[in-house]
């Protein structure tokens, strides 16, 4: 549990607020046995998923039809829902993510890495825009790439409220960025990198200008885990900083 918000009272129907890409991730990363039980308990959700994302219709039907030794209980459903706390918060209450203490890290931890003045910046997986709003007063333009529509709306509304004209909010993925080669001076991302090391690194490098900088704050603890080893192997430098309430994390940067 992340402790961002108590989502235990929701039922499986909350899935109908997810984006098509989240539904794909759901079938990739969650136990099919549990999904099978819940799809059979909530046929209307199953119907929704098949129409919302026809790419996974066949898989949904397979999972629905599979034999599961599990049977439905509210406990199983609640555990499943709680395991999706972050995704649920993104679609129902971005503000509680935005207000969480771990987001209160010192902006100078980012601003001290490079001079953002006049730069074209891409912020990938921008969430509620923590990094975007730190660099927007300096950068020429900031492109906030975020796959969840509700979060894009959160950033756009905040941008309009604060009056920034240089923040552009777009749909996209770290492995599929909607920009031409060598587009940005700086590509940065907080708490996203790590699902597909090579695919993500290659795509971010593609949109970065020669001499540009990649900055990653993957959210990893101050330990030499797989993410750390991958980035250091690629030549990234790193240092440690504090995410309040969540401990010491590492930030990484590399000049192309």
Ligand X SMILES: C[S@@+](CC[C@H](N)C(=O)[O-])C[C@H]1O[C@@H](n2cnc3c(N)ncnc32)[C@H](O)[C@@H]1O
Q: Which stretch binds ligand X (CB under 6 A): 6-14, 27-35, 48-56, 147-155?
A: 147-155
Q: What size, in residues, is the chain?
A: 256
Query: What is the Cα–Cα distance from 174 to 184, expressed in whole angstroms?
Result: 14
Q: Is 46 in the site for ligand X (CB under 6 A)?
A: no
Select from 15, 39, 113, 190 the one that contacts ligand X (CB under 6 A).
190
Q: How far is the CB of 40 from ligand X (least distance, A)?
A: 28
DSSP for residue 14: G
Select from 15, 151, 169, 208 the one that contacts ligand X (CB under 6 A).
151
Residue 6 — left, alpha, or beta (φ > 0 → left; ψ -120 to 50 → alpha)?
Answer: beta
Q: Is 103 in the site for ligand X (CB under 6 A)?
A: yes
Question: Residue 169: beta bridge partners?
Answer: 144
Q: How far is the CB of 139 from ligand X (least distance, A)?
A: 16
Q: How far is the CB of 129 from ligand X (least distance, A)?
A: 7
Q: Which stretch binds ligand X (CB under 6 A): 7-15, 45-53, 64-72, 122-130?
A: 122-130
Q: How far is the CB of 221 from ligand X (least distance, A)?
A: 15
Select from 10, 89, 110, 130 the one that contacts ligand X (CB under 6 A).
130
# chain residues binding ligand X, by CB under 6 A: 17
Select from 45, 114, 122, 124 the one that contacts ligand X (CB under 6 A).
124
Per DSSP, helices labelled H in the chain are: 20-29, 32-41, 43-52, 57-65, 74-82, 85-92, 94-98, 108-111, 130-135, 149-162, 197-207, 226-233
Query: What is the Cα–Cα distance from 37 to 97, expressed in whole angstroms?
Result: 30
Which residue is nearest to ligand X, using beta carbons?
A: 127
DSSP for residue 113: T
Alpha-carbon distances of 146 from 56, 79, 127, rounded to whole Å: 22, 27, 6
Per CB under 6 A, residues contacting ligand X are: 90, 103, 124-127, 130-131, 146-148, 151, 173-174, 190-192
């Amino acid at each position: 549990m992340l402790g961002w918000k108590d989502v235990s009272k929701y039922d499986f129907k909350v899935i109908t607020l997810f984006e098509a890409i989240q539904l794909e991730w759901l079938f990739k990363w969650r136990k099919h046995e549990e999904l099978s039980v819940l799809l059979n308990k909530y046929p209307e959700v199953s119907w929704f998923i098949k129409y919302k994302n026809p790419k996974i219709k066949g898989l949904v039907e397979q999972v629905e039809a599979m034999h599961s030794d599990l049977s439905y209980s509210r406990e199983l459903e609640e555990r499943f829902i709680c395991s999706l706390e972050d995704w649920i918060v993104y679609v129902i209450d971005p503000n509680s993510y935005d207000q969480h203490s771990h987001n209160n890290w010192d902006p100078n931890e980012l601003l001290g890495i490079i001079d953002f003045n006049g730069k074209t910046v891409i912020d990938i997986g921008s969430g509620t825009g923590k990094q975007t709003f730190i660099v927007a007063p300096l950068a020429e333009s900031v492109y906030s790439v975020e796959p969840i529509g509700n979060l894009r709306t959160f950033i756009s509304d905040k941008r309009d409220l604060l009056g920034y004209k240089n923040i552009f909010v777009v749909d996209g993925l770290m492995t599929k960025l909607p920009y031409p080669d060598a587009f940005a001076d700086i590509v940065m991302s907080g708490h996203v990198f790590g699902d597909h090391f090579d695919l993500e690194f290659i795509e971010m490098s593609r949109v970065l200008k020669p001499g540009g900088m990649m900055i990653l704050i993957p959210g990893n603890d101050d330990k030499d885990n797989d993410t750390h080893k991958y980035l250091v192997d690629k030549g990234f430098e790193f240092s440690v900083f504090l995410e309040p309430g969540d401990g010491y994390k590492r930030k990484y940067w590399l000049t192309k």
